[in-house]
Structure 1
């Protein structure tokens, strides 16, 4: 199975929330290999939507959330990450080759950093001193010095650099390269690529188990990499077109979004010990990404075509609530103190800030 990768240079129109045909002459252009083609407005074309890195960043109870702020950012935001101290959020804007720097306290954009070609995913080092940004069309990673806000270095990786994630100890970064079917392993101390791991299918997103022993990569399926040896040891067949992935804090489960292409839009729950799908949860249309609260109680899924976020009760495996956000939600990150979720909306070019209020007792 092949997945298109995104080139979000211009997005004057958008698909409908239902995924059905719209009357419009405006198109979005996506990239599959070296071929550019317009996105169909039909539900079957959900397979041409954008993806982003997924991380476990917060601690938010299952509850009724609401949008408390809408922040304009650059054109076509995709990835979002929040600094470990909770002070800043970085948003990758593919349409302007920039990253918007948001002050979390005031919920305002304080600056914009210019990068390479089509920045897509953002990840902070565990100590918060640096941020790595993948540049999809230039096959590079920009290393940002967070204190100065400047680009400290640029690392050449594979073709179609898409997602980036750090090992829990911060010693390595894995970058998925979806045009060269590889993962680049970066030594964070030296800022150099130390190895390249070949994959069987096109890689999209990557996440590490909490103990750092394994990396799961989504794409045609879910490929499992042994971090010590740097080799693929197994694979798991999730749902239709798996993309987003996040682990529960205890490492027992992985939640994988399946954006589907035939009317099925689900999240697969993988038992890490068994390496099998143990549950399937229906969500909104075109599920893109997922973040899991630090207490492991709740998972948040962005639904691109529904313009919503599904809030999943992890224990029961059911959707506890649904929150309406902007147009084309893609990325989601939770603040470290568990007070808010930041959601990028690719079509409306804004970030929705969701606050979570505990449900009343009884």
Structure 2
């Protein structure tokens, strides 16, 4: 015998449906600007953004300081000197997908010796080094699988990739890629490594290094499951390698890989290629090749894949932004200080076009120590506000300032605000008084100049008077009163009776 179950489930479905958030369209052709120069430790080349975008981790190359930055205010909230790290410099960092660990690659003073990866626990109030892992010489890049179980280290001066089990913190394989042009040789000097979004393949850029000659430069795709090579592209044999692949970036859908090649003074071999990736991880056709005069190095994609951010690998200060639809006519910015092997941390917001850019290079050039990094792009600030409010008390969010947009900026918000709150489309301010407690909710504010759009988020939590339990039967969305007319009650009663009769017939 079937029994009638609670009809309140219908109410839950209705509330969830009304809470859907609409997407925001963004122009990829807007002109990013230098939003701010942010003070940090000595040579802050290494930057990594938390998955929710609320915290930026900055590791100084030479002073080994780890700093936490609040992205809502772009100010440092904590500074830790990791005194147990005695290496000459930190060359790269990467966050675990769950945000509890930071992996930092240290290069020893004696560069003929292996590098060390430090496993830093950042889940508590202070960072703690939990383990160390010995790899090959001079780790130039790190990447981690989406499930967080495998870490890859590109060992520039060993010509190998260390495959690391992050559960045991041990190297489980050391991978070399043999040349298909001449099987007696190999692809030489791995610089950067990245993993496909589905976690099935990883990609490595191989440059040239005299200490590993003779060998080839190129790039390769390998299987995560067994480290076998799926596909590879090779260039010349050292000392005439031609192109020297350096930076890598993969689209969020895994369909395209961007590769940068950096050769000082050789424009023909200084380029960025957009390469199709087949479902089996092999390389398809080259969709676009953009010749770049400024020796491109690190590259990173905006979250919506519409913009490619590029740093330079020379004693200049160039930062470029390419629209990926054309890979032409980039915006070129001059950033104060020397850029050399610096990292890029793009916003995690799907509709945002800004990035944090590391700075440094004093160990490579005769230049002063750099003590700042940069925020570049189309930006609304404060970008990530967190409001913790109380019922019955008036409050307001901060007014927004737009960078990278021109003329009059108009703001909109999604989803709609609860009863008691209003939104100012000229300032981007949320204000008012809420009478009933609200669970944490996220709102997206979009600022548009008519051509381009930038976004910010506001997280709102309201504690205090709980209206839900006392007035569940007569309370609507966000605590607004739900009034049912006599006609509405008749319709609901009729529907309930009809449903009961249908169920009775099936007994």
Moved more, 283-292 or 101-110: 101-110
CA distance in 1, matches of 2:371, 2:284: 37
**After superposition, what is the alpha-carbon deviation per residue over 1:147-188, rounded to whole angstroms, capped at 9, x for unaligned?**
332212212222222311111221211111122221111112
1:325 and 2:331 correspond: no
Match of 2:97 among 126, 136, 139: 126
**After superposition, what is the alpha-carbon deviation per residue over 1:181-226, rounded to whole angstroms, capped at 9, x for unaligned?**
2111111222222222123311111001222221111122112211
| Structure 1 SS opposite 2:191 | coil
Match of 1:261 among 248, 259, 264: 264
CA distance in 2, matches of 1:165, 1:187: 12
| Structure 2 SS opposite 1:280 | strand
| Structure 1 SS opposite 2:254 | coil
Deviation, structure 1 residue 314: 1.0
CA distance in 2, matches of 1:104, 1:342: 10
Match of 1:309 among 319, 328, 343: 319
1:94 and 2:61 correspond: yes
CA distance in 2, matches of 1:321, 1:78: 22
Match of 1:27 in 2: none
| Structure 2 SS opposite 1:94 | coil
CA distance in 2, matches of 1:202, 1:275: 23
- The aligned runs of 1:117-266 (5 Å cut-off) are 117=87, 118-137=89-108, 139-147=115-123, 148-199=126-177, 200=186, 201-219=188-206, 220-237=217-234, 240-264=243-267, 265-266=270-271
| Structure 2 SS opposite 1:205 | strand
- Identify if the C-alpha distance between structure 1 residues 116 and 224 changes in structure 2 by more than 3 Å, giving closer, same or farther: farther
- Identify if the C-alpha distance between structure 1 residues 206 and 183 changes in structure 2 by more than 3 Å, giving closer, same or farther: same
- Identify if the C-alpha distance between structure 1 residues 226 and 218 changes in structure 2 by more than 3 Å, giving closer, same or farther: same
Moved more, 112-121 or 169-178: 112-121
Match of 1:54 in 2: none
Asked if structure 2 preserves the Cα contact closer than 8 Å seen for 1:61 and 1:293, the reply is no
Match of 2:286 in 1: 277
Asked if structure 1 preserves the Cα contact closer than 8 Å seen for 2:319 and 2:333, the reply is yes
- Identify if the C-alpha distance between structure 1 residues 276 and 304 changes in structure 2 by more than 3 Å, giving closer, same or farther: same
Deviation, structure 1 residue 60: 7.8
Deviation, structure 1 residue 242: 1.1
Two-structure CA RMSD over aligned residues (Å): 2.3
Q: Comparing both chains, which one has the higher relative contact order based on Cα–Cα distances under 8 Å and sequence gaps of 6 or more?
A: 1
| Structure 1 SS opposite 2:32 | strand
Deviation, structure 1 residue 77: 3.0
- Identify if the C-alpha distance between structure 1 residues 61 and 181 changes in structure 2 by more than 3 Å, giving closer, same or farther: farther
Moved more, 113-122 or 212-221: 113-122
Report the TM-score when normalising by structure 2: 0.56
Moved more, 279-288 or 309-318: 279-288
Q: Rg larger in 1 or in 2? A: 2
Asked if structure 2 preserves the Cα contact closer than 8 Å seen for 1:113 and 1:149, the reply is no
Unaligned 5+ runs, structure 1: 1-58
- Identify if the C-alpha distance between structure 1 residues 79 and 315 changes in structure 2 by more than 3 Å, giving closer, same or farther: same
Deviation, structure 1 residue 313: 1.0
CA distance in 1, matches of 2:287, 2:86: 40
Match of 2:356 among 311, 334, 342: 342
CA distance in 2, matches of 1:327, 1:276: 38
